[in-house]
Amino acid sequence: MALSTLLLGRLLAAAVQFSGLPAIDVSDLPPIDVIDTGAFLKAVCPQKPARCVPMMAAFDTQHYRIVIRDSLNMDDPSHNSFLVHEMVHVLQYKRDGSTRFMSCEAVIESERQAFNAQNLYMESNGLLQREGSMLRYMKCPPPNRPVGDNSPPS
């Protein structure tokens, strides 16, 4: 599946519009690797591939690339919304560098912003579905809590 520059430009514009992040040129986007599910799971979660079964796309900061499953239909806004989500992560990375993804709190906020942009994009295309419901269950461990301390945080 070849992704046209026109489609990438449209999706990048949506990522900028719905995230509020500074724009970049489409030529500054990382390569987008379209790979089969097995290769995707090995690339995204090499230690525990089953953990990443629900994922459709990922931004790989170490190799500066986006990987997406070959089962996605890029002509379908509900499918290409996953690329909008990953482009938000690229915009975050371009603005803040890798520090944006270094702490638990920063990762959750990064995901919140990307899912919000993805959902606004789908809504702008007349879709009612929503992604990111699992964010409400994501919690970070309390900072500086001794191992084995089961008392409630003060």
Interval 70-101: pLDDT, tens: 999 999 999 999 999 999 999 999 999 888 78
* 148 assigned to some structural domain: no
- Model confidence, pTM: 0.89
Length of the chain, please? 154
User: Residue 112 burial by CB count (10 A; 0-12/13-18/19+): exposed, middle or buried?
Assistant: middle
Separation in Å, CA 96 to CA 5, 19, 76 = 25, 14, 30
- Per the structure, the complete domain to which residue 55 belongs is given by 5-137
* 146 assigned to some structural domain: no
* 128 assigned to some structural domain: yes
pLDDT value for 152: 52
* 76 assigned to some structural domain: yes
User: In the chain, how many domains are there?
Assistant: 1
Run of H or E residues at 33: strand 32-35
Residue 82 sits in a domain whose CATH number is: 1.10.10
* 149 assigned to some structural domain: no
